[in-house]
A and B are shown apart, each in its own frame.
Chain A
């Protein structure tokens, strides 16, 4: 049967449903779309309900993305008319001597955030889900840092990280004979210091996600494991982790995307210093656009943004491709 024969004939009464194949596997029945059936089946009301979201996304997300891509091929100061410059902005960014440093630092931040920041919320959630009393209190305590405004949190931690001997952390470490450490003024300690604060600030949100996922783990699985003689760690490894796999995949990629786009901490803590030790890609983008009082190189900023977005999109695709095959296996 040819594809053409599957097309509905004019005057066919059964215009709602068309048999795609008459032989072979069970026939696939496809809904034939026309404006009348679309309206009758609630398409219009769906569109009306979706319209506000589409407008908001269009205006505040998709349009800026399109504009960014366009701007990456332009020279503009947002006042005078823009001029097309082809690939100049990309060439300018790719030959920036600071770019390798920024990429290295960003990957270092992402790696540290994974090593420090990924296991902590998971362990905390598992422990919190096993306690019987004051579970709510622990949840509140875990989530509290998330409700502290990020700028306030950074300023607070900046105070903690005071490099003098009477700084908060240095005082505490001094009680056990350690320090003082320069923290934010040390090229080696600055980045780990930022990651510790970022983990503190963000872990609460992830803990809540894990706790919610843990509620969905059937209790019978733990009972069965217990009958089989499993201890707490075997239960975690053989029951909890597999059950959380889907959530873990999502939080993992979200964390990668989030940490590669780190900006707030290096901007507020160190401004990218000392000696570019915390210069990240996002900070470079900001510096291109706004770092110079005399206005921004918005073309270079958007060119780097586009490249970063493309990299993350490709990374996400590869990741989901891999994890979907793992999930099936």
Chain B
């Protein structure tokens, strides 16, 4: 019998495959025929060992702990020992929809940077990232990538521009076990329905004075999480062909009604309604939030940037209700600036291999990486979804098993059930615009007692449709 985690991996990769096909057919750039083309077989230039290269790469989240910085520094040292001609300079980095374009246009991004799956096709179409196919061909596992994940980073010519790298996620419900206990709730029995989430949130707010449930609302995260909530209730925010905004659906209305009830009827959401991704993580790690929804992999960030007490952390499934309900999924790709020189690209693929990917395909690399992370008290074994095959992921889990230091037994509410869920991709067209149109809706519901959900959604739908119509304008 397969372990739950292996089954999880298998199921989610399959789900991403299904969603990925849809996304490929309706991406912003209209480059959905990427799979039909044959990648370039031309070999890219290899890096001369005598050529000195300085490579700027993204590092940790801003404000990461000393231990996390030490772990990364150790990793850089190991890399430079292996490639003495490459000097790696890491830069703190947090991808934000509202700052990424400015960084990209201003040339302040490092040479190697990270992007969400949903952005790769357009960046390729805009010629803002390098064609890495020739360099990817140099990797021993080049043909082993899950092709349905890889296609997110392929251009119309079939070449790979962005490489699946990390944080292949499904959204989960994160909860504070300590607050659950203080509120008289059983932390081993987290809520499984939205009604239970509401009841538990009120209990936490009433008995601890902290926010029972919190919701992101800033910089596109409000729309992102409302989309999560919509999927979880069986709705969608765009039609399947990505040409029509469908924000006025019943599931989105129910999601907003849920927030309105928690905020104004129960008063169980605290006083801060301006959270973005980093802000809500910080408040959660500080014990100010009982529950919130975010990617299942956020535990690593909570440790690295927010120094969370592992004892207090719990992860469970986001409640799913309705026939077509599903869990929103996505992920992060590594990309190389279009301004990179050939030497920088050759060095970049070595770093991407070393930092992101090698551990999944090479036992020695996996063990070395795990040891480095453990030595600096960094999380090893945070639930993640496989970039390569299910069999490869199974092997990787076996290699790092002795070093796993995350409280997996506090995450079984998620890891034991996710395999039953349908994973649904983010909206395919004008993703960030649709999220931006929904941000004010979430904010209005959380800050105006008399907020008219129907009118807010109708207005947002108009804006989202305008964005969809003018995608690539």
Contact = CB atoms under 8 A, between A and B. Distances in A.
A293 B444 contact: no
Contacts of B119: 293-294
Given A185-B272, A271-B219, A290 B105 contact: yes
Contact of A98 (B104, B122, B463): B463
Nearest to B105: A78
Contacts of B459: 97
Contacts of B271: 162-165, 180, 182, 185
Contacts of A294: 28, 101, 119, 122-123, 126, 431-432
A184 B274 contact: yes
Most chain B Cβ neighbours within 10 Å, of A80, A182, A273? A273
Contacts of A185: 271-274, 446-447
A294 B436 CA distance: 13
A293 B432 contact: yes
Most chain A Cβ neighbours within 10 Å, of B115, B128, B270? B128
A78 B104 CA distance: 11
Contacts of A290: 98-99, 101-102, 105
B154 interface: no
A79 B101 contact: no
A138 B365 CA distance: 63
Interface string A181-198: 010111100000000000
B2 interface: no
Interface in B260-293: 270-274, 276
Given A97-B463, A274-B274, A275-B448, A92 B473 contact: yes
Given A185-B272, A295-B126, A273 B443 contact: yes
Interface string B219-231: 1000000000000
B217 interface: yes
A86 to B, nearest CB: 14
Contacts, number: 119
A79 B440 CA distance: 31
A290 B436 CA distance: 12
A78 B123 CA distance: 12
Contacts of B466: 97
Interface in B82-96: 95-96
A127 B321 CA distance: 66
A186 B274 CA distance: 10
B218 interface: yes
Contacts of B77: none
Contacts of B443: 273-276
Interface in A238-272: 270-271
B270 A164 contact: yes
B426 interface: no
Contacts of B218: 271, 273
Contacts of B104: 295
Interface in A272-288: 273-276, 287
Interface string B98-124: 111110110000000001100100110
Contacts of A164: 270-272
Given A275-B440, A291-B98, A80 B473 contact: no
11 contacts: A79-B128, A79-B338, A182-B271, A185-B274, A270-B274, A273-B217, A287-B98, A290-B105, A292-B101, A292-B436, A296-B105
Given A274-B217, A275-B440, 6 more contacts: A92-B470, A163-B271, A185-B271, A271-B218, A274-B446, A292-B101
